[in-house]
Amino acid sequence: MTKTAIVTGASSGLGFAVTEAYLKLGYNVVGNARTRARLEEAAAALGNPENFLPVEGDISRPETATTLFARAVEQFGRVDILIANAGIFMAKPVVAFTVDDVEAMLGTNVKGFVYPAQEAARHMTANGSGHILAITACIALQPNVKMPCFMTAVTKGALDHAVRALALELAGSGVHVNAVAPGVIDTPLLPRGEENWAFFRTLAPNGKTGVPQDVVDAVLYLTGSDYVTGAVLAVDGGSTTGVW
């Protein structure tokens, strides 16, 4: 039976790369983004495959998560994988975060995992199998004085612990829960310019940045494993190994 994955934040960056990878493997993919227009652009870039179902909506809202799973089951029969990828990153001093900034990051980064994970837990435990995977951030695992990351630590750091807690809770149900914590990955969301990228390379001890395929490989490994659960896999050029 063809497997089905739900990917949030599927219209660009890492979400698009993960979506493309699953489609190439023959999976059905239900892609979520805030607007229909962005999903239609992504679908066109993917070649408008029949096994890609776009479902727009604010992932911080519980009704969006409910709709995602309902549409996936209606179209494809079941959901095997949830990739909670949608996220916001802001590099600001702690005193510079506005109320809107805080609410946006709590909404997308935390609620955008909690509500889909609840739906996944209900659906997958009933099926006796499944994978829930969060995309977090290595800088939440190991903050770096070169880049302020207070709200990322609050939100993505919370997900790292939530993944471990949920992995334990669902361990006897056949559902695996893991996370990938990327470092600096070259996506269109990051600023261009050699000066910026020279700085980004200083954030890892190996002096490198990553590409989307690095994260895709980690996602495919974790969602293909019937043994690994409760893991937070850093894909970060060594950034979380300590201070250097």
pLDDT per residue rounded down to tens, the chain (244 residues): 899 999 999 999 999 999 999 999 999 999 999 999 999 999 999 999 999 999 999 999 999 999 999 999 999 999 999 999 999 999 999 999 999 999 999 999 999 999 999 999 999 999 999 999 999 999 999 999 999 999 999 999 999 999 999 999 999 999 999 999 999 999 887 878 888 889 999 999 999 999 999 999 999 999 999 999 999 999 999 999 976 6
132 phi, psi to nearest 5 deg: -115, 125
pLDDT score of 192: 86
Q: Cβ(142)–Cβ(195) under 8 Å? A: no
pLDDT score of 95: 97
| 12: containing domain | 4-241
CATH at 124: 3.40.50.720
37: its two tokens? 């227009």
- pTM listed for this prediction: 0.96
120: its two tokens? 């996944």
pLDDT score of 191: 79
pLDDT score of 31: 98
CB under 8 Å to 13, separation ≥6 — which residues? Answer: 187, 188, 189, 212
Give the span between the Cα atoms of 230 and 162, in whole angstroms.
9
CB under 8 Å to 55, separation ≥6 — which residues? Answer: 30, 31, 32, 39, 67, 68, 71, 72
Domain count, the chain: 1
